[in-house]
Amino acid sequence: MTATALLQPDQGLELYPDWWRGAVIYQIYPRSYQDSNGDGIGDLRGIIERLPYIASLGVTVIWISPFFTSPMKDFGYDVSDYCDVDPMFGTLSDFDALVAAAHNLGIKILIDLVLSHSSDQHPWFKESRASRDNARANWYVWSDPKPDGTPPNNWLSIFGGSAWAWDAGRCQYYLHNFLVSQPDLNFHEPSVQDALLDVTRFWLERGVDGFRLDTINFYVHDRELRDNPPLAPELRNANIAPAVNPYNHQEHLYDKNRPENLEFLRRFRALMDSYGAAAVGEVGDAQRGLDILGEYTSGNDKVQMCYAFEFLSAEAPSAARFAAVLRHLDHVAPEGWACWAFSNHDVVRHITRWGLSPAAARAYTTLLMCLRGSVCIYQGEELGLQEAELNFEDLQDPYGIQFWPEFKGRDGCRTQMVWSPDVQNAGFSKGQPWLPVAREHLGLAVDAQERAPDALLHHYRRAIALRSAHRALARGTLSGLQVSGDVLSFHREEAGEEMFCAFNLSHTPATLHLPQGHWVAGGQELNSSGPGADGVVHLGPWQPCLVLKR
């Protein structure tokens, strides 16, 4: 089998009803992708303009971060109308055109549903806060103060401080796990669940193929409002909130991760199944992320996929770390399905976060495409964009403003997609962009990389093509997981196809012995080492070995 043959797409993959299994998902942060009207903010028409580029990557699904009507205190994650498009992004007709154009290219659409909380400008909350006895009085999480006037418990907000805000009209506190302007919906109220399922149905009827579910484990709170216990210092990590945030000092048993959430997810899944749709849930928990992933994706009655934060952490994962995560996942989620990501709109870009050299960036990309599960890549990741350096006066993110300078927020990973180094604002907009275009990104623009055969962009295309060409990689089992020094290796197998994958995750050469059998070299376009005559593989720094069993 030739190397070229190894990269031919497997057309049979498109025939599976569980199309989400093994998919490569491309996340678009619409504010920063492409501006079509010159107002400095990306929009839905801009995404339509760039669909040919997205299709050229070989991805099969795009996830679009929120574009709903919003006061934009948290840039669309504070929704004031779940069933309309904010004018800065376009119209419902624009969204319909985007769905149609994507489908014509064979690309499915996931949209970002923010169900755990709304904006305080949502009509539901305005009615809820108006009195204690109106029709929606119980649609949000309200509580009387303690006798001394303090909040009802010790729950903390992701964005700092108490998770409770005082409302003078009702003389009660309301819960907000995020900004004060993002009150939490009360999932113990059946009518709230019904209303959110109606929202879901609205978008399914418009042709979306599924959803990314923001903060999926935050939906349900403890009815008794019990205090969270303290978390031992040695168990704290900054995967969810920065180290300077006291949120890391609690074990979040009662403000999220509640078992009652499973019943809502079953209702949600039943609705999705009636449309052939799928969802990937964001599990925000620093200690139990994989366990919750296992719970939420077990069986066939909850969500299809979840992603946790294991590889969104600050430290570059070693071979041993990858193995530990994969083994733990196999233990807690034998029926589950992960969606792996190295970067997204909430974390420092992994090129910067892990301090990757070009060779290391390629190795991690190839490894990502060989993991069991689905894969999510974030816009600009395919270009190797590093975290942008912004001045305090340029910040828009309330998270960064709150904790500056120890934590600089999320704007550095949300700067504009760079299309051409020689065009105003790198081709993003003819107007003043909402964040400064990072000058350090210009040399990595799409047009520049298209002209450079060795650019990372082409490596991403080849790695995605390899995954698409092999059911073993897209859908198969993972077995034989081993770590030898800095080399991680495993087998992927599906429908009689078996691939052996090994990765040298270090700056020094390494060797390994191939398992018994007759192996055919593959993936030369990805710098893969082939088998030696004696079964010994010599791996250069950051070099993979990808071979097929014949």
Spatial separation of the C-alpha atoms in residues 112 and 326, rounded to whole Å: 27
| Distance in angstroms between the alpha carbons of the first and the last residue of the chain | 9
Angle between helices 190-205 and 261-273 (to 10 degrees): 30
Residue 214 among the catalytic residues: yes
3-state DSSP call for residue 210?
A: strand
From 282, 295, 411, 498, the catalytic residue:
282
User: At residue 40, what is the residue type?
Assistant: G
Residue 534 among the catalytic residues: no
- Please say whether the beta carbons of 472 and 21 come within 8 A: no
DSSP letter, residue 377: E
Tell how far CA 190 is from the center of its chain: 29
With CA atoms as reference, report the closest residue to 52 among 446, 459, 454. Answer: 446
Residue carrying the six token digits 């083994």: 327
Spatial separation of the C-alpha atoms in residues 337 and 303, rounded to whole Å: 9
φ, ψ at 110 (rounded to 5°): -110, 135
3-state DSSP call for residue 196?
A: helix
From 94, 120, 209, 214, the catalytic residue:
214
Residue carrying the six token digits 């928990």: 285
Spatial separation of the C-alpha atoms in residues 180 and 162, rounded to whole Å: 9
- Please say whether the beta carbons of 415 and 436 come within 8 A: yes
In Å, the largest CA–CA distance within the chain is 80
- Please say whether the beta carbons of 61 and 74 come within 8 A: no
**435-448 core/surface letters (b: 16 or more CB in 10 A; e: else):** bbbbeebeebbbeb
Spatial separation of the C-alpha atoms in residues 78 and 182, rounded to whole Å: 6
3-state DSSP call for residue 301?
A: coil
Report the catalytic residues.
214, 282
